[in-house]
A and B are shown apart, each in its own frame.
Chain A
Amino acid sequence: NAGVTQTPKFQVLKTGQSMTLQCAQDMNHNSMYWYRQDPGMGLRLIYYSASEGTTDKGEVPNGYNVSRLNKREFSLRLESAAPSQTSVYFCASSDDRGFAIYTEAFFGQGTRLTVV
């Protein structure tokens, strides 16, 4: 089982460049997430999608856009990269088995992004 797959694994961007981080899950989950992880900060939620066609801002959405293309895929776009967006980005998904009964989240391996 592939689980959650992120591409690319590593990326170096110049300030002002744009790029899209791709994420796909094969577990038929409704909920998908994008987090960023910075040293000493834990994971912070960027955007969240409860289902296909819906997205919601998380704690740190500025500078990012997302697209829930279908149930499997959830992409994160940086329109004009800034050095402050240097981070490790994680995509995750989870099942929802009923009202207030969310289960654990499954994470991808991460994308290490450096903006110079």
Chain B
Amino acid sequence: SQQGEEDPQALSIQEGENATMNCSYKTSINNLQWYRQNSGRGLVHLILIRSNEREKHSGRLRVTLDTSKKSSSLLITASRAADTASYFCATDRTTDSWGKLQFGAGTQVVVTP
């Protein structure tokens, strides 16, 4: 079974708007990561947040982590057409051998000009 579940499954916004997607997971983690996948391409790492961190920023990206609720959110501010992609959260669980990332099913984001 998958560890992470993203919500919503799909998101359609206009350029300039903010995009928010959420990830919930089931078991305790070492860290949570967000990846982007453009159509037909491999995954690209966006940001990693460790279990003892609550918020992290990288450019137009803001990630929060609430370990008590076992959830994370990814905010993309001032979205651009180039942000059109699928976004996945991945967790590194404490119950697994180190480094076994578990991925969710992803959120498909479409940004229209």
A positions within 8 Å CB-CB of B: 4, 31, 33, 35, 40-45, 48, 50, 56, 58-59, 90, 92, 94, 96, 99-100, 102-110
B positions within 8 Å CB-CB of A: 2, 4, 30-31, 33, 35, 41-45, 48, 88, 90, 92, 97-106
Q: Are A48 and B45 in contact (CB under 8 A)?
A: no
The DSSP consensus for interface residues of chain B is strand
Q: How far is the CB of A58 from chain B (nearest CB, A)?
A: 7
Other 15 A-B pairs with CB < 8 A, given A40-B105, A43-B90, A50-B99: A42-B4, A42-B103, A42-B104, A42-B105, A44-B2, A48-B100, A50-B98, A59-B102, A94-B99, A96-B98, A100-B30, A100-B98, A105-B90, A105-B101, A108-B42
The DSSP consensus for interface residues of chain A is strand
Nearest 8 CB-CB pairings of A with B = A104-B45, A107-B42, A43-B103, A42-B105, A42-B103, A107-B43, A102-B99, A109-B42
Q: How far is the CB of B8 from chain A (nearest CB, A)?
A: 14
Contacts of B105 in A (CB 8 A): 40-42
Q: How far is the CB of B53 from chain A (nearest CB, A)?
A: 13
Q: Are B103 and A50 in contact (CB under 8 A)?
A: no
Given A104-B33, A104-B48, A107-B42, are A42 and B97 neighbors across the interface (CB < 8 Å)? no
